[in-house]
Structure 1
Amino acid sequence: MMNYIWLALIAIGILTAVGTDIYESSINKYRNGVEFQALVELKDEFKTNTQLTGILKVSGEYFKNFYSLKNFNAKLITNEISIKVNQDGKGVAVLNISENTPEFWKLMAKGKGTNTDKLVANILKFEKNENGSYNVVMVFERISLVKIKQVLNAVIEYSDIAVKIAIGLIGVMALWLGIMKIGELAGLINLLAKIVKPITKRLFPDIPSEHPAIGAIIMNISANMLGLGNAATPLGLKAMEELQKLNPKKDTASDSMVTFLVINTSGMTLIPATAIAVRAALGSGDPAAIISTTIVGGFAATIAGVTAAKILQRLKIFRKELEENNETKTEVKE
């Protein structure tokens, strides 16, 4: 079911992007083919057929009206520009995108798909005025399909991130699954299971006390309590795998799976190691200051989550389908 939901969301995103691009093209949002006037102050003496640098200056009111912007309050726009003009007063201008560049020009640069740090324009007229600066008339390169390009770029970017995360988890998964196996062979898992048996028995009454799922759950909770989120991930996956083996209805999460998920995601942490490391890396004066609030917040969230899960599990509306399924299975066996 989730696959269909994700597919629908992707389709909606693409269709929305295409629809937006068609609309923006119909109103010529980026003023393709329209002459843009500005003032250029060169840093060096003007020479034809030579690459020159300078500052482009545009009235904020003119910029706002030219692009039909509603929320734009800058009075004067200045931006670095490189130009190359021939004897006829025509040539090419390149705007360097920087922090001071208006957001709309940044959007146009990103909409190109390539060389997003520059915005190119064809110079149609370049004349010197009385105060030594130059009046320039130019037409920016054609900008189109901005939204769909953003969607495609995001898909590529996050695909790359997903691969990096997956590869990064290989070592952690191998390490902690190995530790778990060693602990299991050495009897450590069984020992821990016996120690916390009174708690796990109440939280997970459907799981046999000697089942491998108990060991994975204990190790996962331990890793989370130490703030080792990456280490807890493979253990959580292993626990869910074992819980699925006990699940009588494979397409529906069991009570134990729901309870475990609540505990796993509620943030019950004693030592938030990852958060402390990040704070230290960013120069925090007291990286460990969050420990007390993390403990209180995590335990409060865990208690609230587990309580809610247990209450909802007892409601008939949530148990009716499961009971009907069990009755059907019993009839089939008979």
Structure 2
Amino acid sequence: MGYSNGIVSAQGKQPLVSFGVISDVQYADIPDGRSFLGVPRYYRHSLLVLQRAVQSWNEQKLKFVINFGDIVDGLCPKAQSLTAIKKIVNEFSIFDGPVYHMIGNHCLYNLPRAELLPLLNIPSHDGHAYYDFSPIPEFRFVVLDGYDISAIGWPKDHPNTIKALKFLEEKNPNSNKNSPNGLVGLERRFLKFNGAVGKEQMGWLDCVLHDATTLNQTVVICCHLPLDPCASSSESLLWNYDEVMDLIHRYNCVKVCLAGHAHKGGYAVDSYGVHHRVFEAALECPPGTNAFGHIDIFHDSLLLSGTDRMESQEMVLNC
């Protein structure tokens, strides 16, 4: 098992709560391959990364786990999609505590929302996949549905699909809407494998943040898609990350935004002091290496202890 990329800090204080993190397992029972950019991908080995992660989390007696999406790869043969997803969900279920999932684009390539959300035990209303939870009174976690407005996952005639396709037609002139050719700078996020937070979800988020402020809670935002261009490539950003962050910045309760999707990882602190951490992908771990970790929460900081390819990170909160 890989060793922790330790930042030993917090002066030996006892954390309020500790939880596990992993992103982009993207398992498939197929030979190793490469991404569009030529980055090696280890489809079968990612299952072993997850198994080692669950073993580690259980040994550390963590309170809960957050999976940041994309548990099965889009190249998984469609006849095997359901079996593959159930296999990975079963591996997560070995963890001795609650596991909070979110949906990613690769999940939606394999199964429609109606089938996927029950398998992931995601609280859903009308097919949406956003929710919040408070593991301790002082903190609230908000899980966003980054594919609320999306060209994948919804039925073809669903209003959210139609809205997403119309949006892509306006923003991306390429016939292949997953191609950023000709798009410049932050416009390169307008790709079919990304998505947006819709109006109804924005209203819900506003209410949740208002409530958290009233309860004097610190909020951690979780989304498969990154919300800050300094922590991620432009091609991986939520379509309306700027709109979402404008809302978040109206509240002082949000201190940290966590995400996956971009695979290589990233970190930035924005102009409002909000920490943005994008996690490294389990999929891209060569055999014998790992990319998972756990986060210790303290009153004034979050400490990510990563293994191997997942970089450790201390996030001091601006309280």
Q: TM-score range by the shorter chain?
A: under 0.3
| Structure 1 or 2: more helix by fraction | 1
| Structure 1 or 2: more strand by fraction | 2
Give the number of the structure with larger relative contact order, counting CA–CA contacts within 8 Å between residues 6 or more apart: 2
